[in-house]
Structure 1
Amino acid sequence: MRTIAPTDLSPFLALARHRSFRRAADELGCTPSALSHAVKALEARLDLRLFNRTTRSVALTEAGETLLARVSPAFRDIEDALDDLNNFRGTPVGRLKINASRPSARMVLLPVVARFLARHPRISIEIVIDNDLVDMVSEGFDAGVRFGETLAQDMIAVPLGPRQRTAIVATPGFFNEHARPVTPQDLKSLPCIGFRFGSGRLYAWEFERGGVELSVEVDGPLVLDDQDMMADAALAGAGIAFSFEDQVKDLVADGRLIRVLEDWCPYYSGFYLYYPSRRQMPAALRAFVDFIRMDGAGR
């Protein structure tokens, strides 16, 4: 086997993270064709297939998985060593890549990021919207934003924003034609706007009152996979929507939407910025976490 230089592994690592030639090529600043040639050349030199490719997907082979598991920590150590040089600068420098659900990005993350970037002009942030949980390390993310209840125990979590509460809403015109639900179970006989996760699972609406917890599988003529569109669909008269209180408070205040089952809508712990425990935190991430704590964004 011919000698493999560390730089020869960069195309492999990028493709392993993104499982997409286009996205990996964008990261490396080359064309998908050039990336494909680089990966094929590496496989030829190793005399091993590292990826199984079809017209629709890219997946690691067993050999590829083994190589990724062995070299990823080493490359992470190199990145940490280079990032340590930020300690010799007067201001932190670097780039953060954050994965967030759409509601968390709009309600709590973007306002904090805007204030942070104004304070730290030498740091850049990329926010990737994904409503499903992802493997942050293998996907190349520095941090993520999700509800506290969904986080893995091995993650370090920092509160980001206040507690959140759900809201069940529809238009006045809708309730002129349909009875207002008195209990969550009443929703089963009413047209509701469903929400489907990226995994394909339909969300069962969750309720709680006086220690009693209920999950209701609703039905209706419309199903969405974007939570921000739920209130828009309700506003258009498509049915009853399950939303966050902060997303609809202005629409409720001006009478365009009517809130029901408010006594059954629980508070949640709220959103958290979370990141994997690492021996050395990147300077840009450390600056962002410190800013959240000092800015008052963490409650």
Structure 2
Amino acid sequence: MIRFNDLAIFVRVATVDSFSAVAREMDLFPAQISAAIKRLECELDTRLFARSTRSLRLTAEGERYLPYAREVLNTLSEGRAGLQQDDRQLHGVLQIASASDFGRNVLLPWLISFRRENPGLVLRVMLSDSVSDIFRDPVDVAVRYGTMQNADFISLPLVPGNRRVIAASPAYIALHGRPESVGDLKEHACLRFHMNGKLYDRWIFPNLPENDSVIVNGPVLSDDADVIRRCAIAGEGILYKSWLDVCEDVSAGHLEVLLPDIPGELYPLSFVCPHRKQFTPALRLLYAYLKDKCEALLLTHAQAQVSDHCVATWPDGRPG
């Protein structure tokens, strides 16, 4: 008889191509992972993986079997979720990924509050500016900026009209003055972000009729967006970041929005799951909770918006 745990191990190994990685995820020994695969292969009377000392890959039979294994696990998960729908107490582990700055300074307090309201849940929070592959990484949901191009995802909007804004500290402005145009940014110290070997030094302003982007330079580079924000507050230069990341700093007077009449790049915030069948009651509740929190955040800091270009509006006129 096939063990469901063995089936789950097979799907994870097929996804990440590593016995040792799955062993670390599941807090098991690699030998236990190998034994589970061997039991499954024995039950099916076929080899699922071609293994060598340097590589691991699915066999043709393993490729054919994988979608069926995933479907069985998804069906079990869906059934378990259905049993919990009438249970007022949510249970289980929620694995959540987000960007470093938004995740650490905005999202994390909301997640702590959400868990306190649902003490049966265990949260596993992963913060990184590297984009998580939510099919390969053990992630239930990613709270992520940008437009999702992969049709396999279920992507629900949290703040679809969010934009980037240009901002600097009062100390920087007092010392270096304000740019009067996008072109003036070339003469200022601009704080730049880099990730996976790529330097993001081209700032885009899509609504300008011409010269809709500018190449910037400056004394500070980082692969952590939170570092960029902190350096801007310290007066080290000008940043170009999501309004959601900086709205509290603008309200508090730590930063000032520059060139407020020039719309920044659209940078929507989304709630992304790998598959519709993984949209469990806990995730549905979390999505509604975060959507309310985002709306409240924008309403709280609406007075800091010196321009309607920071964030688009909902159909009824609320910030979105």
Same fold per superposition (TM over 0.5): yes
Correspondence 1:157-168 to 2 at 5 A: 157-160=155-158, 164-168=162-166
Deviation track 1:29-57 (CA, whole Å, cap 9, x = no partner) reads 21345435655787797446446765xxx
Q: Which amino acid aligns with 1:207?
A: F
RMSD over aligned CA atoms reads 3.9
Query: What is the Cα deviation at residue 79 of structure 1?
Result: 2.2
Indicate the residue corresponding to 2:221 in structure 1: 223
| Residue from 111, 114, 118 that aligns with 2:112 | 114
CA distance in structure 2 between the aligned counterparts of 1:202 and 1:277, rounded to whole angstroms: 32
Correspondence 1:245-260 to 2 at 5 A: 245-249=243-247, 251-252=249-250, 257-260=255-258
CA distance in structure 2 between the aligned counterparts of 1:150 and 1:250, rounded to whole angstroms: 26
Query: What is the Cα deviation at residue 285 of structure 1?
Result: 1.9
Indicate the residue corresponding to 1:194 in structure 2: 192
Deviation track 1:230-253 (CA, whole Å, cap 9, x = no partner) reads 122234554332233454456556
CA distance in structure 1 between the aligned counterparts of 2:76 and 2:49, rounded to whole angstroms: 26
Query: What is the Cα deviation at residue 229 of structure 1?
Result: 0.9
Correspondence 1:219-298 to 2 at 5 A: 219-249=217-247, 251-252=249-250, 257-266=255-264, 268=266, 270-276=268-274, 278-279=276-277, 281-292=279-290, 295=292, 297=294
Query: What is the Cα deviation at residue 12 of structure 1?
Result: 3.0
Deviation track 1:175-221 (CA, whole Å, cap 9, x = no partner) reads 566564222222234332221233x3332222255676823232334
Count of residue pairs the alignment pairs up = 292
Q: Indicate conservation of the 8 Å contact 1:220/1:239, yes or no.
A: yes
Percentage identity across aligned positions?
A: 29
Indicate the residue corresponding to 1:139 in structure 2: 137
Indicate the residue corresponding to 1:85 in structure 2: 83
Deviation track 1:145-164 (CA, whole Å, cap 9, x = no partner) reads 12363354554444436953
Indicate the residue corresponding to 2:13 in structure 1: 15
If the length of structure 2 is used for normalisation, what is the TM-score? 0.70
CA distance in structure 1 between the aligned counterparts of 2:263 and 2:181, rounded to whole angstroms: 11
Q: Which amino acid aligns with 1:181?
A: P
Q: Indicate conservation of the 8 Å contact 2:102/2:245, yes or no.
A: no
If the length of structure 1 is used for normalisation, what is the TM-score? 0.74
- Any idea what SS the aligned residue of 1:8 has? helix
| Residue from 73, 76, 79 that aligns with 1:75 | 73
| Residue from 71, 91, 94 that aligns with 2:92 | 94
